[in-house]
Amino acid sequence: MGNLFVMVWAPILYTGFGIEPGRAALIGAMWQTGGALGALAITRLLDRYGMPVVACAIFMAMPCVMLNGSAGAPESMLLVMSFVGGALGSGGQVGLNAIAGTIYPTNIRSTGLGWAFGVGRVGAILGPMLAGALLARNTNPRIVFIVMSFSFAVAALSVAMMHVRTTTRAKLTASRPVRTSGP
């Protein structure tokens, strides 16, 4: 939801902040550039440290999105925040895709992944639509950036809850005595 908002609306809103269209497009492109590099780093860290890496990355994208909505901010700050936000937000999205295959039991994995990706597509549609509806009501663009940044907090909380659930389940399974059949 938040990723697509930034990709679709941010360059347009930057021009409303007085930034030249070419520079606004460059700042917006930094989200994708950061996302590509962030995906490499986050998936590498995911292999080593697990789901908390993804939850932290996605959560840390939230202030970057908020700061991207700062009218009058120096272009250099917007450029850096867009890159870092993309590395954390879009990179975290790739991490979500990577962990999605690990949380479903084998017998329902394809169904679970289909539903997970389907819900993600719904969010990808609703994010830009919600932003458009807010902007059509003359909502201050700064407020729109803040509202849309909360989707990153919701995603991070969801990943953290999945981590707790899978960790608890693994501990319960490991603590059960192994039954052996005997004579």
64 with 89: CB under 8 angstroms? Answer: yes
Count CA atoms closer than 13 A to 163's CA, side-chain side: 16
Q: Supply the pLDDT for residue 101.
A: 83
- pLDDT reported for residue 167: 84
What torsion do the CA atoms of 107, 109, 56, 147 make, to the nearest 10 degrees?
-130
Q: Please tell me the predicted confidence (pLDDT) of residue 104.
A: 85
pLDDT of amino acid 72: 84
Q: What whole-number distance in Å separates Cα of residue 171 and Cα of residue 179?
A: 17
Q: Which positions of the chain have pLDDT values less than 70?
A: 176-183
pLDDT tens sequence across 83-93 = 999 999 999 99
Domains in the chain: boundaries:
2-175
pLDDT at residue 151 in the model: 93
Superfamily of domain 2-175: MFS general substrate transporter like domains (1.20.1250.20)
Q: If you search the block for the tokens 């084998």, which residue do you land on?
A: 106
pTM of the model: 0.87
Q: Which residues contact 64 (CB under 8 A, 6 or more apart)?
A: 81, 82, 84, 85, 88, 89
Q: How confident is the model over 123-162, as pLDDT tens digits?
A: 999 999 999 999 999 999 999 999 999 999 999 999 999 8
Percent of the chain, pLDDT > 90?
A: 71
Q: Letter for the amino acid at 11?
A: P
